Structure 1
Amino acid sequence: MLFPQYRGRRMRASSALRRMVRETSLSVNDLILPLFAIGGKGVKNPIDSMPGHCQLSVDNIVKAAKEAYDLGVPSIMLFGVPDKKDALGTSAYDKNGIVQKAVREVKNKVPDLAVITDVCLCQYTDHGHCGVVEKGKIDNDMSLDLLARIAVSHAKAGADMVAPSDMMDGRVGEIREALDQEDLSETPIMSYAVKYCSAYYGPFRAAANSAPQFGDRRTYQMDPANVLEGIREATMDAEEGADIIMVKPALSYLDVISKVRDEVDLPMAAYNVSGEYAMIKAADQLGWIDGTKVMMETLTSIKRAGADIILTYHALEAARELDGK
């Protein structure tokens, strides 16, 4: 099609026309709100690098969950900030652990809100790694049983879905088998299948107190340069029984989201991570950008790349913005 027969501006002339031909639609139904649960009562510890977010005691987690539900956000993702840590992260699978308590209380007070739990060891271990440390290295196979225990304990507490984020090989199959053996076969798994070793996680690690105490996570999280490896990881997790596949981070990995979307026939999630959130908030506070517009453009780009679901710290703001349109 050539000018003047084709004039692209014809369909951009008004808001109504632009809406009629819009190719990508962002909805509140696409959003999941991450929350950080900590012990105590009435606790709201602000996270300096994530303005608007706090570590919340269970009573305040319930309030945040109600707010999300009232705005139409269908789900929250819970992360735990435990009172104690040890080498094996035992508080992660304690039936009275912080996440388990939060799950029970949210499901009691906001039963129609879907509660997803992060399944990992990093917040609960004194070394800060996502698996068992043996002779200074992360032992993949020794970690699998502990990860399965965490998932089962969350599901027994009432979690609607579990989300392993550890990047140990074989953990989806191990968790699926453990859930099935405990008559929890209806519990779906959202796998952090394509999780990169990213510098964008900094604010999260401060919020969850989960930075590794030695080394880094490059031996189990993915090299940011790789795409085909991501397709292999996603395919493997799908074959092991994952119900949803996730790519993390999102904004710098839109190409990965798109390519995995083309290869894996499962719902696709993407995590708009803490560093991505913090950059928008910081630039907005300095007056360098319009934070609301950049937020909505960012979330739309993630959806356009192929994500069906977006985990984002912007969830409440975006829900309000969508409700106002």
Structure 2
Amino acid sequence: MEKLRKAVSEIAYTQNHAKLTHLQLSLIPVLHFASSLYKLAHSLHRSLYHYGLFRKHRLPVPVISVGNLTWGGNGKTPMAEFIALFLADSGISPLILTRGYAGGDEAKMLHMHLLGRPKVGGHFSSEKIGAVILDDGMQHWSLQRDLEIVMVSGLTLWGNCHLIPCGPLREPFNALRRGDVVVLHHADLLSEQDLKDIDLMLQQVNKSLPIFFTKMDPCYFFDVGNFIHRRILWAPLISLLLSLRYHLIFRFFDMRFLSCAMSFFEPNDDIEMIRRRLRELEDTFGHKPVVIVTEKDYDRDPEIFKHLDPYEVLALCSELKIIPHRECTEDGFKKLLKGDLKDELQGTYRN
């Protein structure tokens, strides 16, 4: 099943069929047929809402939707966290509603990051909620929203531009027109020419569409055995980690600290192979290497890292940052949030 999942994922993000294997090529007709069925079901579903046969619900507070057109990591949850913290710091109590699998890694990350923030809620309480943030809400048509933020991954964009399962699209590309704001995530990993091309492509969909650039910045480590204990990163290490993201690397910092940084760690991987590699590194350098994994990989299966004992395992946490792009700056994004929700927020607190 895992091989099939990977094969389908490679098909979705490969535009040149010459790069596909015979197995993948044999799957394409089946996936095309499944995509046609998905498109038919999607159109029917949208029509039921469009013609009022399915009812859209309005909450008594403003709703900010953070969504995307494709599957995969587009920065939705980090953006939801960014907005929640901004609203909380502005005196507005936000409620975050998450979709997808209950108790998934995104929900766990949100809970851990927002732990101890008194104005941020994960469920309704007696405290007055000033705004709702819908994490992964673009396809949640039953709920009306006041602001639609569409996240786009600069690394993968729209893949082969087909609907799932043949491609990564949840909706046709023209659904971008429903967005009030587009956020290009991982923009720091793209060339200037790529950024210009993507910017032009988005402007062709909607010339007045604000486009913001974002990135993920490493900020601290925590021990996988004690996530409350944080280790703040020092600047040279941050720079190194930024240059090594999304790779499986073994990098020697000095004669006392060796980092094994993994950007993707599957629970089914051969633990013994990794332990053997760690022992080889220890024999080579005379010191125990430190294993560094991403926070998301840790949340997928925290228990698996116990099998790496006695090696120390640290999880790397990152936070979303807005990259200045023409007039689209962090201050501009925050003003847009408050500006679009001003009347609704004022009405909420008057009531």
Common fold: TM-score over 0.5: no
Query: Is the radius of gyration larger for structure 1 or structure 2?
Result: 2
TM-score (norm 1): 0.30
Task: Report which of the two has the higher share of strand.
Answer: 2
